[in-house]
A and B are shown apart, each in its own frame.
Chain A
Amino acid sequence: MSDYAIQTEHLTRYFGAKRVVYDLNLSVPHGSIFGFLGRNGSGKTTTLRMVLGLLAPTWGTSRVLGHDSQQLPPQVRARLGYLAEGHPVHGWMRVKDAQAYQSRFYPKWNRDMFNTVLEFFRVDPKTRARHMSRGERAGLCLAMTLAPEPDLLILDDPAIGLDPVARRSLLESMVYATRKADRTIIFSSHLLADIERMADHIAVLDYSIMRAQCSLETFRSCVQQFVLRFEDKPPQLPPIRGVIQCIPQQNTLRLTLVNVTQETRAALQRLGAISIDEVPISLEDAFVSYLGGSLQTVRLPQLTQEAQLAGGVR
Chain B
Amino acid sequence: MPLDLSIATGSAAPIYRQIADQICRAVATGQLVSGEQMPSVRALAELLVINPNTVARTYADLIREGVLEAQKGKGVFVARRRAVFTKTERLRRLDAVLEALVNEGIHLGFSPQELCEALERKLEQLIPSSDKGAKP
A192 at the interface (CB under 8 A from B): yes
Given A33-B53, A175-B52, A200-B53, also A280-B12 (CB < 8 A): yes
A193 at the interface (CB under 8 A from B): yes
B50 and A197 contacting across the interface, CB-CB below 8 Å: yes
A284 and B13 contacting across the interface, CB-CB below 8 Å: no
A197 and B9 contacting across the interface, CB-CB below 8 Å: yes
A205 at the interface (CB under 8 A from B): no
A206 at the interface (CB under 8 A from B): no
Contacts of B15 in A (CB 8 A): 196-197
A283 at the interface (CB under 8 A from B): yes
The winner among B9, B45, B50 for most chain A CB atoms within 10 A is: B9
Given A196-B15, A197-B15, also A175-B10 (CB < 8 A): no
A32 to B54, CA, bound (A): 11
B10 and A171 contacting across the interface, CB-CB below 8 Å: no
Contacts of B7 in A (CB 8 A): 197
> For residue A221, which residue of chain B has the nearest CB?
B14
A171 to B7, CA, bound (A): 15
* Min CB–CB distance A144 → chain B (angstroms): 22
A198 to B15, CA, bound (A): 10
Given A175-B45, A175-B46, A179-B42, also A197-B51 (CB < 8 A): yes
> For residue B48, which residue of chain A has the nearest CB?
A197
* Number of A interface residues in the complex (CB < 8 A): 24
B91 at the interface (CB under 8 A from A): no
* Number of B interface residues in the complex (CB < 8 A): 17
Contacts of A67 in B (CB 8 A): none
> For residue A32, which residue of chain B has the nearest CB?
B53
B12 and A281 contacting across the interface, CB-CB below 8 Å: yes
Within 8 A of B (CB), among A1-54: 32-33
B11 at the interface (CB under 8 A from A): yes
A147 to B51, CA, bound (A): 20
B13 and A200 contacting across the interface, CB-CB below 8 Å: no
Residues of chain B at the chain A interface (Cβ within 8 Å): 7, 9-15, 42, 45-46, 49-54
Starting from the known contacts A175-B49, A178-B51, 11 additional A-B residue pairs (CB-CB under 8 Å) come to: A175-B52, A193-B10, A196-B9, A196-B15, A197-B7, A198-B50, A198-B51, A200-B51, A200-B53, A217-B14, A280-B12
Residues of chain A at the chain B interface (Cβ within 8 Å): 32-33, 168, 171-172, 175-176, 178-179, 192-193, 196-200, 217, 220, 279-284
Could you write out 20 A-B pairs with CB less than 8 Å apart?
A33-B51, A171-B49, A172-B46, A172-B49, A178-B51, A192-B9, A192-B10, A193-B10, A196-B15, A197-B7, A197-B9, A198-B50, A198-B51, A199-B51, A200-B53, A200-B54, A217-B14, A280-B12, A282-B12, A284-B10
